[in-house]
Structure 1
Amino acid sequence: RAQGCCWHPRHRGCAGPVLLALTRGRGGRTWRLADTCAACAAATSNTAVVPDTLLGPHAADRTSAPAPASTSPSAFHEQLRVREMLTYLATALPQFASPAARLLALQCALRADSRGHVRLPAGLLRGMRLHGRRELWEELAHAGWLELPDPRPAHLTVRLLDPAVLDQAPGRSARHRAAHWAMHSTPLTLPSAAPSALQLTALVLAVHTCAQARHSADLEILARLCGHSCHQTEALLDRLVAARTLTAWHHHRETDEVIWHLPWPQPTATPRAPARPRPGRLR
């Protein structure tokens, strides 16, 4: 990444890292890549920062990325893939796209093959509480992101229209694991009956959660990935505290940073060994 000064008034004259940002214009018909800082990218509408890829030449040397809270060896890669896909969807989908449509688009994008075709079993959609929600498909079709599928077959098949999902890497098996992780994003998993807005907010927090005790992200980034305003995101964070998914959160207005705290893991109860029968007294 190059270094340079930033035009944003809050960062005027700074020498921070310059990021590569992708801006969508004219309803998705034009796209523009530009070098800018994180504050400038957050202040520009229809803009998302292009994340570093795991397939780059220096991927093996990357040590600055935080490790996820999970101890699974592949959890970090799955977490990172979901985070990259949420960043992509924040620009590819309209800002007014509903949380349920974003969760559905996430599963479609991660499960698509090289031709953009996705086969979703009815059981998967029922588990997400999205089965029979034709309005979500119409919402994504109206945005020009996919073709409206036929909802009658048991296995719903849909074709994505965005060419950006055709050249994904790594392979489908790795992306399927990431899609499964997105549905069970430990340690911020919510019941499937929870509202889609809460589920999406918890997922966005999960992809920014690391193994350290301090979990934080920029409020503008959280709001953009959720498709909400900053005030809506703060209200949803309060609801996650009320649901005991978070213990607390705080917004540092000077830096626009949100810090959240997770509940302490409950110790696993050790099953007691059955009492041994005492030997009877010999007569």
Structure 2
Amino acid sequence: MRLHPACPTTPRAWTVELRPHTGGLVLVCRQCPHTSGQITATTARAAALAHLARHARSNLLPSHLRICQCHERGCHWHPRHRGCAGPIRLLLKRERGGRLWRLADACSACAAATAQAAVVPDTVLAHVPLHPTTARRRRRRPKGPGEQTRVREILSYLAAALPASTSAAARLLALQCALRMNTKMHVRLPNGVLRSLRLNAVQDPWSELEHARWLRITPATAANEVVVELLDAALLGQAPARPDRMRAADWALRASSSSTARTTGPLPQLASAYLAAHADPQAGSGLSELDQIGRACGVPLAELPALLDQLAATGLLSSWQACPDSGDLHWTLVYRERPSNE
């Protein structure tokens, strides 16, 4: 059981609400009573997430001073669970169909029990200079976490940022776009990447992401690529430099296209990437909550056993076991299917 210190001077919990207004919507922040502004429906989600990100960046605290804000408020943000425990994470929660967004520190136990929520990695909120000073040329070394960690963090973020009804095909595209975008939030996706994802036989996932107001397709300058502009401003805060994120995008592409997953459809591909991103790179074993897998893949919990059986039958999983009491899933990947981190 976690022992909670005294509440810090600035509680790390922020809430914004999107309210109807003549001609559009108005963004109301409970911590900024005098700074509400009118926005359009197209930019509402991005504006809300960007506003919350600014609060988090301007109220940084060392990890040993951060406490579970959910517990401080009586844990009414989620159903009852076994107790407050685990490291403190930054949790993004969506309520009322996207009309209310909350960003707050929460322990791992509360985060796992909260519906329509996902952990926001600390690297997403870190400041990155867009125009670094010119320095002597030297061989570049990767910065921050490895490819597997970056993919895991973006999957967690997209679980909250995208509508729950988003298909697996659209989520695969969103993952690649989020990792490959430049500082102007533009993405050039070569047709070779799209062929590797094997999405030409499914319903147009681009239109689905456009309808969700997550991206906008722009005219391409070449015939062998698709160019889009992302509308989720919170993605601009990604700490890893673009070359490192491009390496993570390639890692995710190999993970989702391994073996026969690409021949069985987008959902097995997405699940394969999730399981690989959350598995030990050496042993191939992994542990995660069932509801988190369901949110990240956009699949109901009742359909997860059939999906996992399908992955095992096609040779992607060596074994899997779900614990109904704790809601945890244990799995082991087949060794030859794990993408390399090197």
TM-score (norm 2): 0.64
**How far apart, in 1, do the equivalents of 2:101 and 2:207 lie?**
24
1:36 and 2:98 matched: no
- Deviations along 1:224-253, one digit per CA (max 9) or x if unpaired, are 111112122222111111112112110112
**How far apart, in 1, do the equivalents of 2:263 and 2:201 lie?**
15
Relative distance call for 1:186 and 1:119 in structure 2 (3 A) is closer
Trace 1:250-261 onto structure 2 (pairs within 5 A).
Answer: 250-261=321-332
Name the one with the larger strand percent.
2
User: Which of 159, 165, 169 matches 2:229?
Assistant: 159
The alpha-carbon deviation at position 190 of structure 1 amounts to 4.3
Alignment-derived partner of residue 243 in structure 2: 173
- Report % sequence identity: 44
**How far apart, in 2, do the equivalents of 1:209 and 1:116 lie?**
30
Structure 2 counterpart SS, 1:148 = strand
Alignment-derived partner of residue 123 in structure 1: 192
Structure 1 counterpart SS, 2:169 = helix
Alignment-derived partner of residue 92 in structure 2: 22
User: Which of 132, 142, 145 matches 2:214?
Assistant: 145
- Equivalent residues of 1:96, 1:227 under 8 A apart: yes
- Equivalent residues of 1:215, 1:261 under 8 A apart: yes
Amino acid paired to 2:107:
C
- Structure 1 runs not aligned, ≥5 long: 58-72, 267-283
- Deviations along 1:171-204, one digit per CA (max 9) or x if unpaired, are 2211111111001129965453331000101110
- Equivalent residues of 1:208, 1:216 under 8 A apart: yes
Q: CA RMSD in A?
A: 3.1
Trace 1:76-115 onto structure 2 (pairs within 5 A).
Answer: 77-115=146-184
- Equivalent residues of 2:89, 2:119 under 8 A apart: yes
**How far apart, in 2, do the equivalents of 1:213 and 1:148 lie?**
38
Deviates more, 1:73-82 or 1:205-214: 73-82
1:234 and 2:234 matched: no
**How far apart, in 2, do the equivalents of 1:76 and 1:187 lie?**
23
User: Which of 117, 123, 131 matches 1:47?
Assistant: 117
The alpha-carbon deviation at position 40 of structure 1 amounts to 3.3
Amino acid paired to 1:237:
L
**How far apart, in 2, do the equivalents of 1:74 and 1:242 lie?**
38
**How far apart, in 2, do the equivalents of 1:119 and 1:213 lie?**
32
Structure 1 counterpart SS, 2:213 = coil
**How far apart, in 2, do the equivalents of 1:25 and 1:54 lie?**
22
Trace 1:190-269 onto structure 2 (pairs within 5 A).
Answer: 190-210=260-280, 211-212=282-283, 214-263=285-334
Relative distance call for 1:194 and 1:17 in structure 2 (3 A) is same
The alpha-carbon deviation at position 105 of structure 1 amounts to 0.7
Relative distance call for 1:81 and 1:219 in structure 2 (3 A) is same
- Equivalent residues of 1:3, 1:16 under 8 A apart: no
Deviates more, 1:106-115 or 1:185-194: 185-194
- Deviations along 1:95-127, one digit per CA (max 9) or x if unpaired, are 010000000011111111111111111222122
**How far apart, in 2, do the equivalents of 1:130 and 1:30 lie?**
33
The alpha-carbon deviation at position 213 of structure 1 amounts to 5.8
Relative distance call for 1:3 and 1:238 in structure 2 (3 A) is same
Deviates more, 1:207-216 or 1:39-48: 39-48
The alpha-carbon deviation at position 217 of structure 1 amounts to 1.3
- Structure 2 runs not aligned, ≥5 long: 1-62, 128-141, 338-342
Alignment-derived partner of residue 63 in structure 1: none
Amino acid paired to 2:82:
H
Structure 2 counterpart SS, 1:31 = strand
Structure 1 counterpart SS, 2:118 = strand
Amino acid paired to 1:113:
N
The alpha-carbon deviation at position 214 of structure 1 amounts to 3.9
Amino acid paired to 2:182:
D
Greater gyration radius? 1
- Equivalent residues of 1:189, 1:202 under 8 A apart: no
Relative distance call for 1:28 and 1:117 in structure 2 (3 A) is farther
